[in-house]
Amino acid sequence: MREHLPLERIPLQGDVLGLGTTTSLDNGELTFLQQEGADTTTIWKCEASSGGIRALCPGDGSGHFPYVCFSGDATALRTPVDLALLGNTGGEPLQELVAEAIERLCRIGALPPAPIYGLRLLARWQSLVITVASKLCMGQQRRNTAIARSAASEATAGRSIYQLLQHYRLAAHDPGDPADPIRYLGASLQWECCGFYDTDPEQGRVTVPQPGAHLHLHGCSTDLRYGGHLHHEHPGSQLAELERLVLYPLQRIHSLASDLGVEDLRYGDGTARFRVVNRGSLDVSDVGVALVIDDCYSSHRYLRLPWLAAGEQEAFSVPLALPPGRHRLEVIADPQQEILERPELQENNRLALEVSVEAQV
């Protein structure tokens, strides 16, 4: 992935809901938890190699997230749920319990309708399966299957993204099955969780788009030993008791996005000059820039931009000895479309210039 959001740009003052995934070089999941009585939120990183967790701190070098979803301070939106409304929660599907709580509170006017509900919950499990990103294949799988299909890889391409991630099992006892691909971690069965309930999950606003997958939940065991994405719908996950549930109706949704652009293309004194700008809200890395002369792509000049932070720009000067006559120069940022920009944001990725070069007398 080539899009990044630094940790320093996530406001953690107050009750901030969120979840995310770290980079392919530093695998893992992100969980946003607020300590009892604290006025700040801490992001916990869940390690792919062990299922363990650690708190992240600005400046510790682990702050570049290609996928992260978070709110502002949602303290004013807190709506605790009286769990007596849900009856006995043991053994019930967690997503159905959350959906029932939302429906009941909306019906009595205690919760306004919203496109997405944030939630915090405390749950005790009979058994729980979690997943942790062992490689960031979400965007890459989507890119691959969008442009090509392979008979050799069809089975993998058609599987759920969650089937491709590292799985762990929490239970009172180790099942002791050597053929079980799910690694047993231990008996840490009480989990503090944060996540989102999307009323229209097919839009993929807070998760990989899957029909009916409304609830996306990350969490940590309350003994702070393990963490990850709660695979609450897995056959190996069984709820013992929902101990606390707080809902947050989130009305406005803003998508963070990259927006590369080419500006101020000029030619003079045998040199092409231009700027590549990042007008988006995400940093980008390893961006290609092509300078095409007279629409001849086979002989284009190719540059590589290692990093361009949101709001920053990079100026280029390319020596270019053009023969006399009229020429067309075109600069294209990210010509291979490796940055995930929305179509309407790709229009400024290229800029063309007609130039006339006079013969030297």
| Domains of the chain, each with CATH number or no CATH | 3-250 (3.30.1330.80), 260-357 (2.60.40.10)
Q: Which residues of 78-100 are buried (b: 16+ CB within 10 A; e: fewer)?
A: ebebebeebeebeebebbebbbb
| pLDDT over threshold 80, residue 61 | no
- The answer on pLDDT for 256 being more than 80 is yes
Distance of CA 265 to the CA centre of its chain: 34
Span of 34-38, 203-207, 292-296, 352-356 with lowest mean pLDDT: 34-38
Alpha-carbon torsion (24, 29, 30, 36), positive or negative = negative
Q: Using CB atoms within 10 A of its CB, is residue 53 exposed (0-12), middle (13-18) or buried (19+)?
A: buried
What are the b/e assignments for 320-342, b being 16+ CB within 10 Å?
A: bebeeeebebbbbbbbeebbbbe
The confidence score (pLDDT) of residue 26 equals: 65
pTM across the whole model: 0.83
Q: Report whether pLDDT(162) > 70.
A: no
Distance set, CA 160 to CA 29, 137, 163 (Å): 17, 11, 5
Q: Which of the listed ranges 64-73, 104-113, 293-302 does the model predict with the highest average pLDDT? A: 104-113
Q: What does the alpha-carbon distance between residue 108 and residue 76 come to, in Å, rounded to a whole number?
A: 19
Encode pLDDT of 200-238 as tens digits.
Answer: 998 888 877 678 899 999 999 999 999 999 999 999 999
What is the pLDDT, as a whole number, of residue 137? Answer: 45
**pLDDT band, residue 146 (cuts 50/70/90):** very low
pLDDT classification of 145: cutoffs 50, 70, 90: very low
| Most confident option among 112-126, 254-268, 283-297 | 112-126
Nearest alpha carbon to residue 295 among 321, 330, 337, 335: 330
